[in-house]
């Protein structure tokens, strides 16, 4: 969810509000992603808020404690707080969380009266559950630069009581709207039969914004549950508001541009390049190679940093040019070299490494032989995990190996794209937006991708 809304946000939020914060799954994650923003956790339940306070305090150590943002805990009905606490906060504000999925029948008459007041004209039926009132009250409070991202029961997408909410979303054309729908069989809310969906609403922009509907699912990623995107449809909002939001992509009357996609991890492997523990020692420039006289079979062509290759394609000529510029481009890789005891130049170089303490680095100590780095295959594409709103993508035509500053993408036999096609899409506006959407944002505008989220990247298939 943070990835979704992170890519939609125009500015870093000053305040993040977690409505019905519970023990703070969203509060804690938001602190990590936006450490200089103030996060406000609102919940009726003083016990869970206490747990949240303990959890947040245990994490507010080291670097995080030095940032100016903080966590404020508010024990109050969110529907009251939104009219009292909210107006005091200077935007942009982001409402992020999962409101209570209390059913209409479980609400007291008094609660319903207060909820109806907060929801105003956005909920007019008496059948709405508490989460629909939370959504309506939040929408009513939004200023043009505020946004929201909520995990909700999906029923408002098709029932009579969700009609006004759907209409507001449909007609707010200057806001980007994204709805992610889980299949009804998936138990997102444990122990309930409630269908789940994620609603993301961006800040108002100067021009019309897309309305995106996606089918998502839960998947197992090495024992950890993640969300995968199965298909995406961009819906044309020029016509009248449809009666339901759950079948938008299949409805005949809708103008829909459907993007069929595959998650990258289903057809490709993604891994970091070689971790050496001392790049200074293990990666050599042309000059160093010449000076040290190391045997050819101990060296592999390599790329240490994306900035060493300012071109989209790393072919042999580009690799030569990196060498001419004086950057390191040879990896000392002893995996297929047995001359460590016999080659005099190699012996001298390894002794030099020992005298520099390279054999005692954490990584060297983990290895069977300190100077023999892990054997990493040459990837099809390099991707720079860190960028400033832009992640470099380099096609590896020269077949070099990367350092651990880079991710390598290895296409499997079932991949429907060639390396060149995939690289071109990753560099495109859509590709970069998708990458930024799943990267972690840091102060100063830099963003970082994790291999785990990259595996979930939905890449279009023709």
Ligand X SMILES: C[S@@+](CC[C@H](N)C(=O)[O-])C[C@H]1O[C@@H](n2cnc3c(N)ncnc32)[C@H](O)[C@@H]1O
Binding site for ligand X (CB under 6 A): 20-26, 42-45, 48, 77-79, 97-98, 100
* Least Cβ distance, residue 119 to ligand X (angstroms): 12
- Tokens (6 digits) for 404: 């651990």
Which CB atom, from 113 or from 351, has the smaller least distance to ligand X? 113
Please name which of 87, 102, 84 lies closest in space to residue 20, comparing C-alpha atoms.
102
* Least Cβ distance, residue 153 to ligand X (angstroms): 10
* Least Cβ distance, residue 151 to ligand X (angstroms): 8
Contacts of 60 (CB under 8 A, 6+ apart): 31, 71
* Least Cβ distance, residue 114 to ligand X (angstroms): 9
Residue 274 CA: distances (Å) to CA of 206, 375, 394: 45, 8, 17
Which CB atom, from 44 or from 339, has the smaller least distance to ligand X? 44
- Which region, left, alpha or beta, applies to residue 344 given φ > 0 means left and ψ of -120 to 50 means alpha? alpha
Q: Please say whether the beta carbons of 176 and 202 come within 8 A.
A: yes
Site of tokens 């005692």 = 360
Which CB atom, from 102 or from 285, has the smaller least distance to ligand X? 102
Backbone angles phi, psi at 381, to 5 degrees: -140, 140
Which CB atom, from 42 or from 169, has the smaller least distance to ligand X? 42
H helices within 356-394, ranges in order?
A: 362-366
Q: In sequence order, what are the beta bridge partners of 16?
A: 39, 94
Residue 461 CA: distances (Å) to CA of 37, 149, 227, 233, 455: 38, 28, 19, 13, 16
* Least Cβ distance, residue 32 to ligand X (angstroms): 14
* Least Cβ distance, residue 360 to ligand X (angstroms): 43
- Residue 42: Cβ within 10 Å count: 26
Which CB atom, from 97 or from 273, has the smaller least distance to ligand X? 97
Dihedral angle sign, alpha carbons of residues 99, 100, 101, 106: negative
Q: Please say whether the beta carbons of 246 and 154 come within 8 A.
A: yes
Q: Please say whether the beta carbons of 272 and 304 come within 8 A.
A: no
Which CB atom, from 92 or from 100, has the smaller least distance to ligand X? 100
Q: How far apart are CA 361 and CA 96, in angstroms?
A: 42
Q: How far apart are CA 305 and CA 313, in angstroms?
A: 14
Which CB atom, from 195 or from 263, has the smaller least distance to ligand X? 195
* Least Cβ distance, residue 47 to ligand X (angstroms): 9
User: Residue 221: which H helix or E strand, with range?
Assistant: strand 211-221
Q: How far apart are CA 430 and CA 432, in angstroms?
A: 6
- For strands 393-395 and 401-402, give the pairing: unpaired
* Least Cβ distance, residue 51 to ligand X (angstroms): 9
- Tokens (6 digits) for 8: 């939609």
* Least Cβ distance, residue 39 to ligand X (angstroms): 12
Which CB atom, from 45 or from 266, has the smaller least distance to ligand X? 45
Q: Tell me which residue has its CB nearest to ligand X.
A: 22
* Least Cβ distance, residue 309 to ligand X (angstroms): 43
Which CB atom, from 126 or from 444, has the smaller least distance to ligand X? 126
Which CB atom, from 22 or from 431, has the smaller least distance to ligand X? 22
């Amino acid at each position: 969810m943070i990835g979704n809304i992170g890519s939609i946000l125009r500015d870093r939020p000053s305040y993040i509000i977690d409505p019905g914060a519970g023990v703070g799954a969203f509060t804690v994650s938001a602190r990590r992603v936006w450490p200089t923003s103030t996060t406000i956790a609102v919940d009726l339940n003083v016990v869970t808020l206490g747990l949240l306070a303990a959890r947040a305090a245990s994490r507010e150590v080291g670097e995080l404690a030095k940032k100016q943002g903080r966590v404020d805990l508010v024990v109050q009905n969110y529907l009251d707080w939104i009219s009292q606490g909210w107006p005091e906060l200077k935007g942009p504000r982001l409402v992020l969380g999962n409101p209570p999925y209390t059913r209409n029948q479980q609400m007291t008459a008094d609660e319903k009266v207060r909820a109806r007041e907060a929801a105003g004209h956005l909920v007019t039926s008496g059948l709405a559950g508490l989460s629909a009132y939370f959504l309506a009250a939040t929408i009513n409070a939004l200023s043009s630069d505020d946004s929201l991202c909520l995990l909700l029961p999906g029923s408002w997408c098709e029932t009579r009581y969700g009609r006004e909410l759907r209409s507001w979303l449909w007609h707010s054309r200057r806001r980007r709207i994204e709805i992610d729908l889980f299949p009804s069989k998936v138990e997102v809310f444990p122990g309930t039969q409630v269908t789940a969906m994620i609603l993301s609403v961006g800040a108002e922009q100067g021009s019309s914004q897309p309305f995106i509907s996606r089918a998502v699912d839960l998947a197992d990623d090495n024992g950890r549950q993640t969300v995968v995107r199965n298909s995406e449809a961009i819906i044309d909002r020029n016509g009248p508001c449809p009666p339901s939001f759950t079948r938008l992509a299949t409805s005949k009357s809708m103008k829909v541009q459907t993007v069929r996609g595959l998650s990258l991890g289903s057809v490709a492997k993604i891994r970091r390049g070689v971790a050496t523990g001392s790049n200074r020692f293990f990666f050599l420039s042309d000059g160093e190679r010449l000076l040290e006289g190391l045997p050819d079979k101990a060296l592999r062509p390599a790329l240490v940093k994306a900035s060493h290759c300012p071109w989209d394609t790393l072919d042999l000529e580009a690799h030569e040019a990196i060498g001419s510029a004086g950057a390191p481009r040879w990896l000392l890789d002893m995996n297929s070299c047995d001359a460590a005891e016999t080659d005099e130049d190699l012996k001298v170089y390894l002794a030099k490494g020992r005298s520099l303490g390279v054999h005692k680095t954490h990584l060297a100590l983990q290895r069977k032989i300190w100077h023999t780095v892990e054997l990493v295959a040459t990837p099809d594409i390099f991707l720079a995990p860190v960028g400033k709103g832009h992640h470099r993508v380099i096609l590896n035509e020269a077949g070099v190996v990367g350092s651990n500053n880079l991710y390598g993408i290895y296409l499997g036999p079932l991949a429907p794209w060639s390396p060149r096609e995939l690289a071109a899409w990753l560099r495109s506006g859509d590709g970069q937006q998708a990458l930024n959407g799943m990267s972690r944002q840091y102060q100063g505008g830099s963003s970082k991708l994790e291999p785990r989220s990259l595996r979930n990247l939905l890449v279009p298939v023709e």
